[in-house]
Amino acid sequence: MSKNEKQQGGPQAEAPKMCKSEGCREKPSKFGFCKTHYELYMAGVIKGDGSKPIDYEQKLSQYMKQKQKQAA
DSSP-based three-state secondary structure for 58: helix
Show contacts with Zn ion in window 12-41 (CB under 5 A).
19, 21, 24, 26, 34, 37
**Closest listed residue to residue 50, CA positions, set 63, 42, 60, 41:** 41
Closer residue to Zn ion, CB minimum distance, 4 or 23: 23
Spatial CB neighbours of 53, under 8 Å, sequence gap ≥ 6: 45, 46, 47, 59
Closer residue to Zn ion, CB minimum distance, 9 or 23: 23
Closer residue to Zn ion, CB minimum distance, 11 or 56: 56
Residues that bind Zn ion (CB under 5 A): 19, 21, 24, 26, 34, 37
